[in-house]
């Protein structure tokens, strides 16, 4: 596999060539520059006739990447994959191009798409903030581990806020009312 012979840092899962992590660096001359992401790759048995599954393990702010799950919306991987493509294409062409030229009209992250459409400079600033917070070498190294803590704490805070908003009174006829 060409990817293994490239400069990309790869970590195999259970010594399997079908599941591994790639350390991906943000492309130069973009707000993603300097960022380091851990990208999970699963190669199906039908590869190269079927595309690999890829997902970012640490957070990234981008219209076509789900911030929490890391799922990537990229046509060439999801619909127009060809056996002529390989893993090197994904990490040296497809992903860098996606970060350079986001498609705000087909978003997985609506907030990122809306901000990009509304104010590109503010979008770039938010991307840089995410890079500084979530895309460091240390964040990439720890991404996907249960001991990560920071993601879990943030989610717990969200749940606490959500539970304090109000409750539904089921004694009322109809749908119920919200008591604040």
- Active-site residue 73, yes or no? yes
Query: Could you write out the DSSP letters of every residue in 77-98?
Result: HHTS--TT--HHHIIIIIHHHH
Joined together, the tokens standing for residue 59 give: 């957070």
**Cα four-point dihedral sign 151, 117, 131, 26:** positive
Residue of 3, 73, 76, 108 marked catalytic? 73
* 176: alpha, beta or left? (left if phi > 0; alpha if psi -120 to 50): left
Do residues 39 and 56 lie in contact, with contact meaning Cβ atoms separated by under 8 Å? yes
What is the β-pairing status of strands 167-169 and 53-56? Answer: unpaired
**Active centre residues (catalytic):** 73
């Amino acid at each position: 596999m060409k990817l293994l012979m490239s400069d990309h840092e790869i970590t195999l899962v259970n010594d399997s060539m079908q599941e591994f992590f790639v350390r991906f660096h943000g492309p130069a001359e973009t707000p993603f520059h300097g960022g380091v992401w851990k990208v999970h790759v699963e190669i199906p048995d039908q590869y190269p006739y079927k595309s690999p599954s890829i997902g970012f393990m640490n957070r990234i702010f981008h219209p076509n990447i789900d911030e929490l799950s890391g799922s990537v919306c990229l046509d060439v991987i999801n619909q127009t994959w060809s056996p002529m493509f390989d893993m090197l294409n994904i990490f040296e062409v497809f992903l860098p191009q996606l970060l350079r030229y986001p498609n705000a009209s087909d978003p997985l992250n609506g907030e990122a798409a809306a901000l990009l459409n509304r104010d590109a400079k503010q979008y770039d600033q938010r991307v840089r903030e995410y890079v500084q917070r979530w895309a460091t070498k240390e964040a990439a190294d720890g991404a996907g581990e249960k001991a990560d803590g920071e993601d879990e704490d943030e989610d717990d805070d969200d749940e606490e806020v959500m539970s304090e908003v109000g409750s539904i009174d089921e004694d009322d006829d109809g749908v119920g009312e919200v008591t604040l």
